[in-house]
Structure formats: C-alpha cells, structure tokens
C-alpha cells in the first residue's frame, strides 16, 4: 500500500467518524491535494494569495469611492467587480486554507448549501458583469458622443441590478434542486469546496436530464457574455486601428489583450466545468481547473484593471500624498 492509498484510507475513516458524529448530515471535503506533507506549504501559499487578492480589491473599492474623478460608469462597474471578487474568494478560500491544517475536514449540510448558493450567485453575477463592462468600453470608444445617454447612471444601475438578480435567481434554482436530491451513504466530496458538479457524483439518482439544465445555464450565463466580450473588443480594435496613431494602437492592443486574457481564463475554466458531461469528469482535473476561477481570477482582476490604468494609478498617488 503506497502513501496515497494510506491517505485516502484515512480520509474515508474520518468521513465515517464524521457521519457517525453528525448523524450523516455533514459532508467531508477531500481538499485540493491528498498528500499530507504539502499541507503546510499549501496553507502558506493560499493564505498569501488570499491576502494579496483581498488587499488589491479593497484598495480598488476604496480608491473609487474616495476619488470623485473615478465616479464614472466604467469605475462603478469596476467597483462592483471588486466587491464580487472580494466575496467570491472569501466564500471558498478560508475554509480550504483551514482544512489544510485541520484533521476534521467536515462541512455541515446547511453550510455546504449556503456555500454552493453564494458561489454560484457570485460566479453568475461576475460572468454577466464582465459582459456589461465590455459593452461600456465598446460604447465609450465607438460611440463617444452617445456615451452619456447609452451609459447613463440609470442604465448603469439597471445593468448591475440585472447581473445580481440573474446570478442570484439562477443560483437559487440550482441549489434548491440539488440539495433536495437523495445523497448516497458516502458524504465524501472530492473537491475543496461544495460545488454542484462535485455534489452530483454523490446523488443516488440519474441526473442526466438535470445536467442538460446545467449545460443550458452555462451556455446562457457564461458563453453568451464571453461571445459579447469578444465581439466588443474586436469592434473596439477595428475602430482604434482606423482612427489612432501607432502609439495609440499599441496601447489599445496591449490593454485589450490583458483584459481578454483574464476574461478568457475565467470563462474558459468555468465553461470547462459546467458544460462537461458527468461521464467525462476527472475530480483531480476539475479541482485544478477550479483554482483558476476561484483564486487566480479574483487575484488578477484588480491589478489588470487598475495598474495598467493611468486614472487609477493617478488616484493612488493623490491618495498617498
């Protein structure tokens, strides 16, 4: 018996003990990796990333709130993105980090349900908000004279409300359905947080029809905004190349490239998780992919959208002075 088998056996024993102690109502999270010697190192790495992401998003929200020059539709949407990322990374990472150092990796049924709902709601909201942000840039560059009308305060607030409402309703429907399904004796979730695709493997019922619903939701909330972002930036680049000088073109390409890389990272990884059939899933691969949209994207967003922005860096300098 190798080390991996021994660790898996210990996890199963812990699961059985947890079930006996909690009358079978708790779940047990396997975690990111099953190798005990890496737990302390992973805790330090994850805690550092979490602190940096938290600091970056809080600072960006604080800057936008304090500096009146940043009170524009673009920065209002950006502040909403930072709020979402702040909540997004806080939903999963603290529990995962604690589990690295804890012998008990259990999460209550209610705790798991709340985590799954909040995560889905924030993920859906962010997916839609990124699409609205690309529309804002499209209007600002391609139709600058109509920008005050097309991106008025009322329309901007309506976009944000639509994103939050759509993400929350979608999450509520999926969470309510999944958690009323019958779970098997095993409550061992092969993941580092309660995610719907990982929970479906514990259900004692054929979920193939429900997976079509998940696929439809994924295509609507994830694929459509992503296609809108690609179309918006393509149009922006066309307009920039027709109007700007060589220096302006290079700056536009650089800015759009970084935004597209971060957006693609978020949409590609979430689509890979929520549109893949259950039969083609690999728990280890799914966990690695989930790291990108749960940890890496919230870490990168505040820096990609702020450090390469002269108005934000200018606001930072003014605040420090």
Gap between the Cα atoms of 275 and 282, Å rounded: 14
- 20 domain-assigned: no
What is the per-residue pLDDT for 13? 46
Say yes or no to pLDDT of 7 above 60. no
Among 87-96, 170-179, 308-317, which is the least confidently predicted range? 308-317
Give the side-chain half-sphere CA count within 13 A for 174.
31
Q: Rounded mean pLDDT of 204-232?
A: 91
Pairing of strands 106-107, 188-189: unpaired
Q: Which residue has the higher pLDDT, 84 or 255?
A: 84
What is the per-residue pLDDT for 34? 64
DSSP state for residue 24 in the 8-state scheme: T
> What six digits make up the tokens of 101?
């150092």
Task: Using pLDDT thresholds of 50, 70 and 90, give the confidence band for residue 229.
Answer: very high
What is the per-residue pLDDT for 313? 81
Among 112-126, 201-215, 240-254, 293-307, which is the least confidently predicted range? 240-254
pLDDT in tens, 58-97: 999 999 998 888 899 999 999 999 999 999 999 999 998 8
What is the per-residue pLDDT for 24? 53
Task: Using pLDDT thresholds of 50, 70 and 90, give the confidence band for residue 312.
Answer: confident
Can you say how many angstroms the Cα of residue 201 is from the centroid of all Cα atoms in its chain?
22
Gap between the Cα atoms of 223 and 128, Å rounded: 10
pLDDT in tens, 190-200: 999 999 999 99
27: enclosing H helix or E strand? strand 27-29
- 18 domain-assigned: no
- 142 domain-assigned: yes
- 5 domain-assigned: no
Domain count of the chain?
Answer: 1
Gap between the Cα atoms of 271 and 297, Å rounded: 14
What is the per-residue pLDDT for 113? 94
pLDDT in tens, 128-149: 999 999 999 899 888 889 999 9
Query: pTM (2 decimals)?
Result: 0.87
- 53 domain-assigned: yes
Task: Using pLDDT thresholds of 50, 70 and 90, give the confidence band for residue 318.
Answer: confident
Domain boundaries, position 263: 25-320
Among 94-103, 116-125, 144-153, 224-233, which is the least confidently predicted range? 94-103
Can you say how many angstroms the Cα of residue 287 is from the centroid of all Cα atoms in its chain?
14
Task: Supply the CATH number for residue 278's domain.
Answer: 1.20.1070.10
- 16 domain-assigned: no
Say yes or no to pLDDT of 293 above 90. yes
Gap between the Cα atoms of 37 and 29, Å rounded: 18
Neighbours of 264 (CB within 10 A): 13
Task: Using pLDDT thresholds of 50, 70 and 90, give the confidence band for residue 248.
Answer: low
- 267 domain-assigned: yes
Which of 135, 317, 112 shows the shortest CA–CA distance to 202? Answer: 112
- 126 domain-assigned: yes
């Amino acid at each position: 018996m190798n080390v991996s088998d021994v660790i898996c056996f210990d996890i199963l024993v812990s699961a059985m003990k947890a079930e006996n102690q909690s009358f079978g109502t708790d779940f047990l999270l396997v975690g990111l990796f099953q190798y005990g010697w890496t737990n302390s190192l992973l805790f330090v790495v994850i805690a550092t990333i979490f602190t940096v992401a938290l600091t970056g998003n809080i600072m960006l929200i604080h800057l936008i709130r304090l500096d009146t020059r940043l009170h524009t539709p673009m920065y209002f949407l950006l502040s909403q993105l930072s709020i979402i990322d702040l909540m997004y990374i806080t939903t999963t990472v603290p529990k995962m980090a604690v589990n690295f150092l804890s012998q008990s990796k259990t999460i209550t049924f209610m705790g798991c349900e709340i985590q799954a709902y909040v995560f889905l709601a924030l993920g859906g909201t962010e997916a839609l908000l990124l699409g609205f942000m690309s529309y804002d840039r499209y209007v600002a560059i391609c139709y600058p004279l109509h920008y005050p009308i097309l991106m008025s305060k009322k329309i901007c607030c309506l976009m944000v409300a639509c994103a939050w409402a759509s993400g929350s309703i979608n999450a509520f429907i999926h969470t309510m359905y999944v958690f009323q399904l019958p779970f098997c004796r095993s409550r061992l979730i092969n993941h580092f947080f309660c995610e719907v695709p990982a929970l479906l493997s514990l259900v004692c019922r054929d979920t193939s029809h429900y997976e079509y619903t998940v696929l439809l939701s994924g295509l609507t909330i994830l694929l459509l905004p992503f296609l809108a972002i690609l179309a918006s930036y393509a149009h922006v680049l066309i307009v920039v190349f027709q109007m700007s000088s060589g220096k302006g073109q290079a700056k536009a390409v650089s800015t759009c490239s970084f935004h597209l890389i971060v957006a693609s990272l978020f949409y590609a990884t979430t689509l890979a998780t929520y549109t893949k059939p259950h039969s083609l899933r690999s728990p280890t691969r799914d966990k690695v992919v989930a790291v990108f949209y749960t940890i890496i994207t919230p870490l990168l967003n505040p820096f990609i959208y702020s450090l390469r922005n002269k108005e934000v860096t200018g606001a930072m300098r003014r605040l420090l002075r």
